[in-house]
Amino acid sequence: MTAQNLPHEPEFEQAYKELASTLENSTLFQKKPEYRKALQVVSVPERVVQFRVVWEDDKGNVQINRGFRVQFNSALGPYKGGLRFHPSVNLSILKFLGFEQIFKNALTGLNMGGGKGGSDFDPKGKSDNEIRRFCVSFMTELCKHIGQDTDVPAGDIGVTGREVGFMFGQYKKIRNQWEGVLTGKGGSWGGSLIRPEATGYGVVYYVDHMIKYASGGKESFAGKRVAISGSGNVAQYAALKVIELGGSVISLSDSQGALVLSSEEGSFTPEEINKIAAIKVERKQISELATSSAFASKFKYIPGARPWTNIVGRIDVALPSATQNEVSGDEAKALIDAGCKFIAEGSNMGSTQEAIDVFEAHREANAGAAAIWYAPGKAANAGGVAVSGLEMAQNSARVSWTTEEVDSRLKGIMEDCFKNGLATAQEYVTPAAGSLPSLVAGSNIAGFTKVAEAMKDHGDWW
């Protein structure tokens, strides 16, 4: 896949190898050897846009950042994927995210291609005016490369409804047209209901199908202890949906540490999650809330820790919902030792390859419900982009759907994602006797083959 004249791109190479290895270890290439060529083609972006972003801070000083848009694949529709504003952003990370987005979007069943973008700009510590000035400068260049039928970005880490609003306003001024060019818009000007909640709700809906399938319909989230990492939109709404379905949320975290229950009983409450959400809007750390009397009596805060490191006791379900590579091989083993039976990624590529190997080996070595069952982000966290696709449809028709209608469509899409991955795994990957099908292999193959067939029809490979 890599050529000697290309720079080392570890995140992208990890994402590519994760997909390629599951295709190699299935019967796909035996049944359809021509798909090897499709894999070579799909691994190269159709277009990469890189540009400078010059803006002025509140002191009148000129600041410079790098802006990117990776337009990876448009076989199934306009490029679709978020914009990330974070100091860690580089081309490798955006290529990994865009590559994953191709197949995630394919699994939703909606007409969306794959792309990703962003900047190494850090919104933390910036005033609203500084963020506005940056967004205006960023969109002044990006607007030349996007449009409702070309490329439809959304939010990601560091890009909330505020940033989407600033960018949409600048796009509208320059292009002199109102169109659904960004998703995650405000509810009063083209946004979809359920969009902020969609990724978190979706991962819980997906896991609910996992639990029911593995238990033969005998179990649900009721009574399950659920460890969640992160404290942004995905983690917050996943936690609220888990509580609604009868589960107990036993952890949340941020980049500085983890907040976990002090005892084996109880759960975060919706009120406590809302308090955490409020401080995150102010871009503050969980540690500032953890020391308050209301939290200190019920929770313990562990600096530098993640929830999978033997600090929360028994775990039934794990939902990594923070960032990439947040579950290592050793942490995967710790999850198994804690009794975890289901892990699904709310974050993109939340598990390292070593962790995935641990999960898959345990699944193959243990029958049914005795195993841990792993679901990759490209399937489990597809709810966010699915509702972005629904927002695009509403914008095109100039209509707004009710909360109930959007939520119903989201539930249907997540059920289809699960069933599609399950059926594809059963077709192309022979599991060990009594073991559960591989959702990572099934999801990879299902997404890849759909894109590959469309590319072949377009004459992109033969």
| 191 annotated ligand-binding residue | no
Structure tokens at 446: 């299902």
User: Is 116 a residue of the active site?
Assistant: yes
The closest alpha carbon to 278, from 264, 292, 299, belongs to 292
80 is known to lie in a ligand binding site: yes
Cβ contacts of 449 within 8 Å, gap of 6 or more: 28, 35, 424
Q: What is the CA radius of gyration of the chain?
A: 21
Give one word for 52, left, alpha or beta, with left for phi > 0 and alpha for psi -120 to 50. Answer: beta
Bridge partners, residue 249, by sequence: 226
Contact (CB, 8 A) for 170 and 135 = yes
- Cα 201 to Cα 37, 71, 224, 276, 443, distances in angstroms: 37, 27, 16, 18, 19
d(CA 303, CA 404): 40
Q: Check: CB of residue 248 under 8 Å from CB of residue 225.
A: yes
User: Quick one: which H or E segment has residue 387?
Assistant: helix 383-397
- Strands 248-254 and 225-228, by their bridges, are parallel
Q: Is 233 annotated as a binding residue?
A: yes
The sign of the torsion formed by the CA atoms of 38, 40, 43, 45 equals negative
Rounded to 5°, the CA angle 227-231-235 comes to: 55
Instruction: Count Cβ atoms below 10 Å from residue 33 Cβ, excluding itself.
Output: 9
Q: Is 40 flagged in the annotation as binding? A: no
Which of 32, 37, 95, 116 is an active site residue?
116
Number of Cβ within a 10 Å radius of residue 4: 4
* C-alpha distances out from residue 182 to 76, 137, 139, 387, Å: 18, 16, 11, 13
Q: Is the dihedral of CA 130, 133, 138, 142 positive or negative?
A: positive
Say if residues 354 and 332 touch (Cβ distance below 8 Å): yes
CB 222 within 8 A of CB 251: no
Q: How far apart are CA 193 and CA 358, in angstroms?
A: 38
Nearest to 311 by CA among 330, 338, 284: 338
- 101 annotated as a binding-site residue: yes
Point out the annotated binding site for NAD(+): 199, 233
Residues with active-site annotation: 116
- Residues forming the annotated binding site? 80, 101, 104, 155, 199, 233, 388
Annotated binding site for substrate: 80, 101, 104, 155, 388
